[in-house]
Amino acid sequence: MRTLRKQLLALIEEARKQHQLDTPPPRLQAALLHDAMQLLPLPSRPTSKKRTALIAQTLTHNNMHRHIVFIRCPDQAFYLDAIKGYLIKQNIQPIAQQTMVMSLHCDTTSCQVELRQPEHQEEHNFMFIALHISATLVKGYQKMTRDMRAVLHAVELSIHDFPNMTQQLDQIAQHLEKQVPADAELLRWMNDGRYLLFGMHRFHSSDATAPKHSQRLGLMRNKQTLEQIIPDIHKQLLMLPPPDSVGLTWLHLAAAEHHLYNTTRVKVLRISWQQDGLW
C-alpha cells in the first residue's frame, strides 16, 4: 500500500504539471492523496465493482476554506459534462478543477497505477475528478454531493441502456413506416446521434393508463433517481390522457423545465402506434 501511495502521489504531481497548476499547500495535497487512495478501485474493496464513487471533505486552514469533492467515474466525457452542467445550473463556480485518467493493474502480489491519455476507452481506464468548492459560498456539501451522486447514477443508467434504446427506436420507426412515414423518417433522423437519450418508458396496452407490459430503460429505470433528476416528471406522465392518434407527439411538461444537470431544454416525446389491435 505504501508503494501504491508513492505511485499515486507522483502521478498527481505529474498531472498538476501537465495542467500548469500551482503547487498546492501540503494539507491540500495530503487531502487529495487521501481521497484518491480511498477511491482507487482495488480488487479487495467492495466499492471497486461500482463504476462511480464520490467522497467529500471540508478543509479549513489559514485562508483556505473549501470543500473538496473527489469523484471516480469511467473515462467518458458524459460524466464530467453532466457534473459541469449541474454546477452551472446551481450557479456554483469551482475554485479549481483537476481531472486525471488512470488505469490500475493488479496481480496476486501488488498493484500498479498509471496515468493515461483521456478518451482512449480502454477497459481498465477510469477518471478522477477533484472539484474545489468555496465553503464560504456553499455552506455545506451534503445536498451538493447527494445531487452529484444522482447525476452520476443517471448518466450511468443512460449510457448502459443507450444501445438498447437506439435499437428500439429504430424498430419503432419500422412500425410507423406504413402508417405515418413522415414521422418514421423524423424519428430515424433524431435517432442518428442528434439527441441524447436520457430514458425510455415503453408499454403495450389497449388502455394506456393500465399497461399490461412495461419496460423502463435509462433514467426511467430508477424512479428514485428519476425523481431527483426531474422532480414530478413521473407524476405528470401518469396524468397524461391515453393517445388517440398514431405518430410522434411532443409533450410540454412543466417538470421537464427543471432537469438537474442538463443545461439545454429537455424534450419529452410520446410515440404511439398500433400493433395487433393494441396501442
Q: Which three three-digit cell numbers place residue 134? A: 468555496
Distance between CA 276 and CA 224 in Å, rounded? 34
pLDDT in tens, the chain (279 residues): 677 888 888 888 888 887 777 788 888 889 999 999 999 988 887 777 789 999 999 998 888 899 999 999 999 999 999 999 999 999 999 998 989 999 888 888 888 888 887 766 677 789 999 999 999 999 999 999 999 999 999 999 999 999 999 999 999 999 899 889 999 999 999 999 999 999 999 876 655 454 456 789 999 999 999 999 999 999 999 898 888 889 999 999 999 999 999 999 899 999 998 766 545
Decide if 260 contacts 146 (C-beta within 8 A). Answer: no
Spell out where the chain has E strands: 53-61, 64-74, 96-106, 111-116, 125-134, 199-204, 213-218, 247-251, 268-272
What pLDDT shows up at residue 135? Answer: 95
Task: State the pLDDT at residue 210.
Answer: 47
The DSSP secondary structure of 170-221, one letter per residue, reads HHHHHHHTTT-HHHHHHHHHHTTTTS---EEEEEE-SSTTS-SEEEEEEGGG
Contact indicator for 106, 42 with CB cutoff of 8 Å: yes
φ, ψ (nearest 5 deg) of residue 183: -70, -35
Q: Using CA atoms, how far apart are residues 249 and 232, in angstroms rounded to an integer?
A: 20
pTM (predicted TM-score): 0.90
Number of residues that make up the chain = 279
Contact by Cβ (8 Å): 166, 195: no
Q: How far apart are CA 34 and CA 68, in angstroms?
A: 11
